[in-house]
Structure 1
Amino acid sequence: MSENTPRNEHGDAEVIDFPTMVPLPQEVREGQENTPDSGKPPTSERVTHDDAADDAGEEAPPVRVDAQLDAYRAQGADFLAELAERAQSQRPIVPAWAHSKEEAAHTLRWVVAYYAHVAAYQATRSPKYLLKLAARTPRGTVRAVGGFTRWVLDWEGEGARVEAAKRNDAETYLKLSRQRDRRVRARAIVAVLVAITLLIAAILVAGAPTWAQWSTLAGLVILLGLIGAPADRPLIDRAALPQQVAKLDSDVVVRAFGAIGISAITQAQAKGKDGITFASAITRDGPGWRADIDLPIGVTAADVMERRARLASALRRPLGCVWPEGDPGVHEGRLVLWVGDRDLSKRGLLTWALAKTGRHDFFAPVPFGEDPRGRAVGVPLFQHNVLIGSLPGQGKTAAVRVLTGGAALDPSVQLWPHELKGSGDLDPYERVSHRFVSGIDDTSIGYAAESMRLLREEVMRRAPALKKLPRDICPDKRITRDIADKRSVGLFPLVAIFDECQNLFAHPFYGAQAGEDAEFIIKVGRALGVVLILATQRPDKDSLPTGVSANVSVRFCLKVGGQVENDMILGTSSYKNGIRATVFRPEVDAGNGYLVGVNATPTVVRTAYLDQVATDQVAQRAHALRTAAGTLTGIAAGQDSAPVTQVDLLADICAVAPVSDGKVWSETVVDRLAELRPDAYGAWAELEADAKANQLAAALKPYGISTIQIGRRISGKVVNRRGIDPAPIAAMVTQRNKGRSGG
């Protein structure tokens, strides 16, 4: 070791950390050697942190490998890498709408419908156009004769000749006069030939059939009418008015994104940058404009979606025109901004595709509505369960009618509608239903609960039946179209609708068991052809069991009041992720909602509308299809439905706990009820003592009756337990019976 070796204060050799060195590519080193300063002795073939620090007189930042690779590419050596980078940003040869059969078919239908509309519009106005042409014929005749005369006499050169005479330019005047004479002589010959031709044509027409004479006259009227048309009043009306909305351009979008309150964007724009980048040019997409935008790092599409109202304000467009959505297939920061020409809520009522004609195949999506771009949207029922929620009056019933109509128009489907508010919204479908009920009373709720029980039994029956099918008939152990059409197999599709299902699930007596049955059906039944369609206007944990809301696969949420209701229908964290049905405006946006579980991303859909008359027409067609197929069963075939045990809790309590007995413990009442009606109350009797009291208290709560503490002396000790006082219950039953009898 040399004596000049650095040592520390203890005399030991000091360990020196050499700087990290990254070798440059050979091409870069050769480029450095050929620079004007190449005569200087090279400092090193490596770039080190210490070298950079020595040159600057202070510590320099580390040299990034990316920078060296950029220098390497600058030498033109990595041609293939550059080409690969450019290839990633190539624009598609085939437009986006042509990549999908559905998109291409929709575009083709739109083009055909547009020109069909134009043709029909103009055809219906042809008499008007003929009258206008006839009215303009005299003016056209004067114009034609006058123009031809001016041409023959060379009046267009008259001004030049007059100007030459005023200037006393004899030479020019004589030249122009000789030119005019030559023209007039030649044109006069043409005029004579034209006159002879017209005379011969008139003679021929005079001797022609009547249809030829009228055709010639019509042709003259059209020709002269066109000649006589004023320049400011065109003959043909426009079948489609031009759009009055401004084109969406990048400057407008950049300015709008700077105003919605996302700090990463506003900070970038404060430094003179755009804050966002465009993945492709803004293009026309259906009845609107589409912009594919890459948001700053750390900003997600949900951050923009929750600021939709601000974005609409910044773009100066109605809220119903602005629809931002994510594109997770690219990355979470990719945003697809679609800005329509018209407010979605102002498109008017959307006619259902199957309202007038046609039948449906249960194994295909039911036509449901349109998205903001005017593209058709369908909802699959096969192997799916559907949950619909909204505030009252926002279009929930119309959505239920559409899906029920789709199921009804497949004659192989067995239909079980339950309308649990008694308004009669689904009454037309009774004629094609196996089971049907409409009402809000306890009997109707009990009927619906019985249906849930029967559906659960049906699911349990189908599982072994499907398993027993030969492999050549059912290779994938799933119901197919062929299996559904084999009525003897008994694996036909079964669709049960429960509108206002909160009245069933929140019922004090039937609710708990119905919720358990529904959860079982949703989890198991979808693979066996049993489908539930649930609709509610009160989505909360009490009226919509979490096991039910968490397991449905297709969700449609119209206007709701808050985050809890939003997430109960659309799924946990939907509100946080920007999928907010709270943004829809009451009544204005009725029929608009978020559809989840059909497409890769949540989609805004405007549902088709079926009123009572249209629903009745659909039901009549469905009845005809089922009559021809021989698939009418149950109520539709005039058969009695399964009996329903009618339970009157208050009357039963009066029977087992008369007023003369005084106050009674809850567990005693439950035991007596179970002995009175084992089928109805037997499950209560199997509970523990406290659970019996809780069950009875929950069942009496909707009637406004509360349990009380009752003390009893047992073996010399006072024991307090919850119980009831039969007197108020008896008085309530007496008053109710008087009201029913009209007394």
Structure 2
Amino acid sequence: MTSPQNNPENFDWTAAEADVAVAAEGAEVVDLDAERTRRAEAGTHFDITLDEHPQPGGKPVDAEPVSPSGRRPIVPVNWSTWPNIRHSLAQAAEVTGYRIGFHALRSPMYAVLAMFWATVGVVRLAGRQLKWWWVTEQYRLRQAAADANDPAMWLKLHREVKATRMWRFLVLAAEVLLIGIGLPVLWATASWWVLLLVTAGIVAFLAHVGRPDDRRIITPATVAGRFRRVNSDIVLRAYYAAGLGHPDKAHQQIGFGSTMGRDPSGTGSQVSIDLPYGKTFDDAVKARGAIASGLDVALSQVFITRDPSSHRRHVLWVADRDPLAQAAGRTPLLRCKPTDIWQPAPFGLDERGNKVTVDMLWNSILIGAQPRQGKTFAARALALYAALDPYVKLTVLDGGGKPDWRKFALVADRCAFGLAMTRDGDPAEIVLEALREIKADVQDRYERLSKLPADVCPEGKLTREIARDPKYGMPVRAVFLDEFQEYFDLGDISKEIASLLVYLVKVAPAAGVIFVDATQRPSGVGGGQVATQFISFRDNHQVRFSLRTGSWQVSDLVLGAGANSEGYDSSTLLPSYKGVGILRGASDATPTVRTYLADADDAEKILIAARKLREEAGTLSGMAAGEDIAREHRDVLADVRSVIERGETGAQWDEIATRLAERLPEAYADLTAESISAQVRSFGVRSVDVKRSGKALKGAKTDDIDAAIGRRKAA
């Protein structure tokens, strides 16, 4: 008895069987066997072995329409416009030229091999004809007659073989006569090119006869890849092994929503899968590893895509070979043409070779990975896109101080690299001042946008016209922070930096300020308030891109809580994948993306072009324009002393922080009691109990502050 998983009549039975059962819910008997037979005779099963060419099938197998109307172009895209035609012709000419050159260089070797195997072919052909003449295949029959002591049969066979040999001898004699006379006549009368063609044909034929099947004379210039075929049985085996259904239980069988076939790109096999009722797309995503095992392919070759028509239906695509091991190629930004930040930025290719873009505007983007997996290159690719829009104001802050970002000084309004002191000053202070300025700008933008007339600023939101009009002074701003965890681990100054970053990542995107932040330590730093703010900063990014991480827990920190439970785990990416990561939150899909490559030379070329564009547009500003950014250095002791009222012998830290925030909001708006305590104590001021309304809390004595000021003056 055949099992259901091996019976082609059951291949599309999940949905069909359920429909029959539902339709006949009130009936006493449902003849499922009869229904199976009827459907099998109608040819509705999908036991179709894939071949090497695309086959027409259901909607998921066919190419997606290129227009909202659902119509495909009458003329293929690659032949629709003159640039596309030229590109297609150039590709064909390039391949043809390569093959001609490849074979031309090897033609002498081909000739030698052909002559050798043609000689062997002469011997083999002569041997075959001699065997044919002598009727060797009859030898066993005559031997059998002799063994059976049947002289009559033996004599009959003998007479027949003699007659056959005579007739075949005459055929061979005519063949020899034809060759012996025809060849000299042809040699004497035919043109040289006819002789050449005939000789080539004879040599090719004899070489084919003499050559063993595993010995090729002509080496292929291009090699077509070999891949594992996927058919219905294999798919069913994989899904049942993964626990997504059961072949012997009613309503628990896997069905097919389309015929199986090659995908339009020719790089894999795909089919629409109907899970049993109650099973969901999320179940299939979670079981992706088990499905790959059942298909006997690598996990990186199996991709599951949601079908909008049903939550139990999805498209299974099995790549012929690992698609993530192939680089996406150079960035299209190398054309150095102006970009528009209001349009999506090119980011890379997904697992199926489709272009992936990222909407930077209105978003904050988090990029995380282990070291040397392409994290900085991914962030820099987005920064280069922003740089080529001359109306975008850039701020580049690299806590790691790597060379990768240095050339952005050509276009950045403000930039800081590393943590060591430079000619521009302390990078940490530059970061702090830049964030303060951005916060003030964001607050000012909200106030001014709310006052603009509705015909200029609909719904009080920034528009492209406002952003590009210098009279409003509200250009789109893009802030890039690499290794931002370093700014959360600088001691006292980190408290204000952390507070500013949390505020900005929550509020700034809606004001046209983009944040792109990269880190190799998404788990956080230290403890206390700064650690809490780090987590808040990390978790307030809308778009996440995770290259390879060390564990699924770290992957979840980058991609967001619940990513692993949905089947997205960047720790499963191979170490050899450079610039490959999972993009979540940029669209409805969560693709695995191979980012475009822009190395240091490419980045420099693009940034030089970006600077020229900004000079022509008159938008070069800040450090890139050679401006000396004034940095305000507050005298913390003097500020603290100024808020302690006359007659007070001291003040509690909470009181000091509140008074400073009220009187000097531009410098101390986000100050906390812990922060001001740490700063004042660093000057040797003791933290002591200070009584207020009968309650003693920690604070500073007026005499201690005055003494610290005196010591500093004396020094």
**TM-score, L = length of structure 2:** 0.67
Matches of 1:494 and 1:174, distance apart in 2: 98
Q: Aligned letter for 2:501? A: A
Which residues of 2 match residues 508-587 of structure 1 at below 5 A? 508-525=495-512, 530-536=513-519, 537-538=521-522, 542-544=532-534, 546=536, 549-550=539-540, 552-560=541-549, 566=555, 569-576=558-565, 578-585=566-573, 587=575
Q: Aligned-residue CA RMSD in angstroms? A: 5.6
Alignment check: 8 A CA contact 1:371 1:606 kept: yes
**Cα deviation code 1:555-598 (max 9, x no counterpart):** 2233456777655544454444x153354357355533221233
Alignment check: 8 A CA contact 2:348 2:594 kept: yes
1:213 corresponds to which residue?
A: none
Matches of 1:157 and 1:269, distance apart in 2: 56
Shift of 1:397: 1.1
1:593 aligns with 2:556: no
2:317 corresponds to which residue?
A: 338
Shift of 1:380: 2.3
Matches of 2:514 and 2:466, distance apart in 1: 16
Matches of 1:667 and 1:654, distance apart in 2: 14
Shift of 1:404: 0.9
1:195 corresponds to which residue?
A: 187
1:97 corresponds to which residue?
A: 63
**Cα deviation code 1:582-622 (max 9, x no counterpart):** 54357355533221233322222232343334333332343
1:260 corresponds to which residue?
A: 242
Instruction: Give the 3-state SS of the residue equivalent to 1:509 in structure 2.
Output: helix
Matches of 2:594 and 2:434, distance apart in 1: 31
Pair 580,176 (structure 1): closer, same or farther in 2 beyond 3 Å: closer
1:368 aligns with 2:347: yes
Q: Which runs of no fewer than 5 residues in structure 2 stay unpaired? A: 1-20, 32-38, 47-55, 139-156, 525-530, 710-715
Shift of 1:400: 0.3
1:721 aligns with 2:704: no
Alignment check: 8 A CA contact 2:396 2:415 kept: yes
Alignment check: 8 A CA contact 2:622 2:629 kept: no
Alignment check: 8 A CA contact 1:429 1:619 kept: yes
Q: Aligned letter for 1:455? A: I
Matches of 1:693 and 1:195, distance apart in 2: 109
1:494 pairs with one of 477, 492, 497: 477
Q: Aligned letter for 1:300? A: T
**Cα deviation code 1:499-554 (max 9, x no counterpart):** 233444672123213322332212332xxxx422222332567244647744x443
Alignment check: 8 A CA contact 1:504 1:514 kept: no
**Cα deviation code 1:134-185 (max 9, x no counterpart):** 43465488699999999xxx99996579x9xx96889777766776777777
1:251 aligns with 2:252: no
Alignment check: 8 A CA contact 2:60 2:315 kept: no
Q: Aligned letter for 1:132? A: M
2:52 corresponds to which residue?
A: none
**Cα deviation code 1:399-436 (max 9, x no counterpart):** 10111122223344332222223223311222122222
Q: Aligned letter for 1:407? A: A
Matches of 2:461 and 2:669, distance apart in 1: 38
Which residues of 2 match residues 469-484 of structure 1 at below 5 A? 479-480=463-464
1:316 aligns with 2:296: yes
2:603 corresponds to which residue?
A: 615
Alignment check: 8 A CA contact 1:385 1:554 kept: yes
Pair 99,320 (structure 1): closer, same or farther in 2 beyond 3 Å: same
Alignment check: 8 A CA contact 2:412 2:624 kept: yes
Q: Aligned letter for 1:501? A: F
Shift of 1:330: 2.0
Q: Aligned letter for 1:353? A: T
**Cα deviation code 1:299-328 (max 9, x no counterpart):** 22222323333333333322322333433x
Alignment check: 8 A CA contact 1:352 1:367 kept: no
Matches of 1:650 and 1:311, distance apart in 2: 66
1:67 pairs with one of 24, 39, 44: 24
Q: Aligned letter for 1:693? A: A
Matches of 2:314 and 2:553, distance apart in 1: 26
Instruction: Give the 3-state SS of the residue equivalent to 2:304 in structure 1.
Output: strand
1:233 pairs with one of 212, 215, 225: 215
Matches of 2:220 and 2:692, distance apart in 1: 94
1:666 aligns with 2:653: yes
Matches of 1:392 and 1:714, distance apart in 2: 52
1:693 aligns with 2:670: no
Matches of 2:553 and 2:373, distance apart in 1: 18
Alignment check: 8 A CA contact 2:446 2:511 kept: no
Shift of 1:623: 3.4
2:380 corresponds to which residue?
A: 401
Report how many residues are paired. 613
1:681 corresponds to which residue?
A: 668
Alignment check: 8 A CA contact 1:384 1:531 kept: yes
Alignment check: 8 A CA contact 1:697 1:707 kept: no
Matches of 1:221 and 1:182, distance apart in 2: 24
Instruction: Give the 3-state SS of the residue equivalent to 1:337 in structure 2.
Output: strand
**Cα deviation code 1:23-70 (max 9, x no counterpart):** xxxxxxxxxxxxxxxxxxxxxxxxxxxxxxxxxxxxxxxxx9943899
Q: Aligned letter for 2:621? A: T
Q: Aligned letter for 2:63? A: W
Matches of 2:116 and 2:601, distance apart in 1: 54
Q: Aligned letter for 1:608? A: Y
Alignment check: 8 A CA contact 2:404 2:600 kept: yes
Matches of 1:257 and 1:461, distance apart in 2: 55
Pick which of 273-282 and 664-673 moved more. Answer: 664-673
Shift of 1:284: 2.4
Matches of 1:604 and 1:643, distance apart in 2: 44
2:253 corresponds to which residue?
A: 275
Instruction: Give the 3-state SS of the residue equivalent to 2:220 in structure 1.
Output: coil
Pair 696,296 (structure 1): closer, same or farther in 2 beyond 3 Å: farther
Pick which of 586-595 and 411-420 moved more. Answer: 586-595
Q: Aligned letter for 1:194? A: L
Identity level (%): 24
2:267 pairs with one of 272, 287, 299: 287
Alignment check: 8 A CA contact 1:453 1:514 kept: no
**TM-score, L = length of structure 1:** 0.65
1:633 aligns with 2:617: no
Pair 240,366 (structure 1): closer, same or farther in 2 beyond 3 Å: farther
Pair 654,334 (structure 1): closer, same or farther in 2 beyond 3 Å: farther
Matches of 1:469 and 1:116, distance apart in 2: 59
Matches of 1:333 and 1:260, distance apart in 2: 15
Pair 545,69 (structure 1): closer, same or farther in 2 beyond 3 Å: same
Matches of 1:593 and 1:415, distance apart in 2: 25
Instruction: Give the 3-state SS of the residue equivalent to 1:251 in structure 2.
Output: helix
1:352 aligns with 2:330: yes
Matches of 1:226 and 1:472, distance apart in 2: 81
Pair 666,471 (structure 1): closer, same or farther in 2 beyond 3 Å: closer
1:455 aligns with 2:455: no
1:425 aligns with 2:432: no
Q: Aligned letter for 2:593? A: V
1:606 corresponds to which residue?
A: 594
**Cα deviation code 1:631-654 (max 9, x no counterpart):** 4333223x2153233469799989
